[in-house]
């Protein structure tokens, strides 16, 4: 699989502050790649370098097979975190302008604008001034602006912020459509659940450094313990290869007593297949069996906290800032 973005030891400083510190990563063609990190982690600076808005101080950066340049800008779509539109102007001409800046002819830009506005449910707002639109609608106009040029690389910085659940679902579909039509997507978000749902691979930046990088499933697997969650009444501690068992609280389920949830850690050398075979030999019924899966957010927190930082506070702060921004926008 070819690469759409390759960074090798990329570095960027503002005076004495190192915003991006020897970052190396690769974004593969056709994937949805998550770039994560708390506020001030260096994500925006990295993206600005990829978009040729900023120049790196050191390292090598390749986008769509070449060094970032003006010529590549028309092949990249970007939804910045700092949103902005011409509030006094009407939706249709502003989007046509963005389309023309991406290299479309006027007719193409008009046609594409009409199609996108219809796709995002904004057709009847085409002749309205942007300032008259709600924050969510303005957000959708910006998304139209990001994808108007049929980008090969689509960079979305916090695309879900300010959207209600219906529009969030709509945007998810739009991102999926873009991927299906051949675009590679880089997604920056604080909603890490979305990353698990959407993204193939992820990179977590913290204080300008890569602290976590790889496939999302692989990251979760490698950071989750060799533990299994079994729902049964049977006593599992006596089974061969079981190192420890933690029994969870028994839940009430529609008036009947549900089966208890037991977290089992295996001894080194024992495989899941052997454990599953042993479960099959039990006389008590087993309602469910699964490998324990840590949420990505939890992994992120653990990895960053291992550097002595309270990431929970940082995340909480990020969320607070996001909520505040949403409240201000609403």
Chain residues that interact with other proteins, rule: CB under 8 A: 48, 51-53, 70, 73-74, 76-78, 80, 82-87, 89, 97-98, 100-103, 142, 145, 149, 155
> Taking Cα atoms as reference points, which of 297, 243, 290, 292 lies closest to residue 34?
297
Report the Cα 219 to chain-centroid distance in Å. 14
Q: Is 138 or 232 the residue whose CB approaches other proteins more closely?
A: 138
Contacts of 125 (CB under 8 A, 6+ apart): 91, 117, 133, 137
Least Å from the CB of residue 9 to other proteins: 21
Q: Is 131 or 295 the residue whose CB approaches other proteins more closely?
A: 131
Q: Is 83 or 112 the residue whose CB approaches other proteins more closely?
A: 83
Least Å from the CB of residue 205 to other proteins: 19
Least Å from the CB of residue 53 to other proteins: 5
Angle between helices 135-147 and 106-119 (to 10 degrees): 130
Q: Is 9 or 69 the residue whose CB approaches other proteins more closely?
A: 69
Alpha helices in 120-164 (DSSP H): 135-147
Least Å from the CB of residue 192 to other proteins: 24
Least Å from the CB of residue 173 to other proteins: 23
Q: 100-105 contacts: CB < 8 A, separation 24 or more?
A: 102/73, 102/74, 102/77, 102/148, 102/149, 102/151, 103/74, 103/149, 104/148, 104/149
Q: Is 37 or 99 the residue whose CB approaches other proteins more closely?
A: 99
């Amino acid at each position: 699989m070819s690469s759409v973005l390759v960074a090798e030891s990329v570095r960027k400083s503002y005076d004495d502050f190192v915003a991006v510190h020897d970052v190396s990563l690769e974004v593969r063609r056709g994937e949805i790649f998550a770039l994560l990190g708390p506020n001030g982690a260096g994500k925006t600076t990295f993206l600005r370098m990829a978009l040729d808005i900023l120049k790196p101080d050191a390292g090598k950066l390749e986008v769509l097979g070449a060094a970032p340049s003006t010529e590549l800008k028309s092949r990249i779509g970007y939804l910045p975190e700092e949103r902005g539109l011409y509030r006094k102007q009407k939706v249709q001409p502003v989007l046509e302008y963005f389309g023309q800046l991406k290299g479309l002819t006027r007719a193409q830009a008009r046609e594409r604008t009409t199609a996108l506005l219809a796709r995002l449910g904004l057709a009847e707002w085409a002749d309205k001034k942007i300032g008259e639109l709600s924050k969510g609608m303005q957000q959708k106009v910006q998304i139209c602006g990001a994808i108007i040029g049929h980008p090969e690389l689509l960079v979305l910085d916090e695309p879900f912020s300010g959207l209600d659940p219906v529009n969030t679902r709509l945007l998810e579909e739009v991102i999926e459509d873009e991927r299906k039509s051949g675009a590679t997507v880089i997604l920056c978000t604080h909603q890490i659940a979305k990353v698990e749902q959407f993204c193939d691979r992820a990179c977590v930046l913290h204080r300008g450094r890569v602290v976590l990088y790889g496939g999302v499933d692989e990251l979760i697997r490698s950071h989750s313990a060799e533990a299994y969650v079994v729902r049964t009444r049977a006593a599992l501690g006596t089974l061969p290869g079981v190192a420890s068992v933690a029994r969870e609280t028994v839940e009430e389920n529609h008036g009947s007593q549900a089966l208890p949830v037991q977290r089992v850690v295996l001894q080194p050398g024992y495989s899941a297949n052997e454990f599953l075979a042993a479960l099959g030999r039990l006389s008590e019924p087993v309602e469910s069996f699964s490998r324990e899966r840590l949420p990505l957010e939890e992994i992120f927190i653990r990895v960053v906290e291992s550097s002595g930082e309270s990431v929970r506070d940082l995340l909480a702060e990020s969320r607070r800032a996001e909520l505040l921004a949403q409240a201000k926008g609403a």
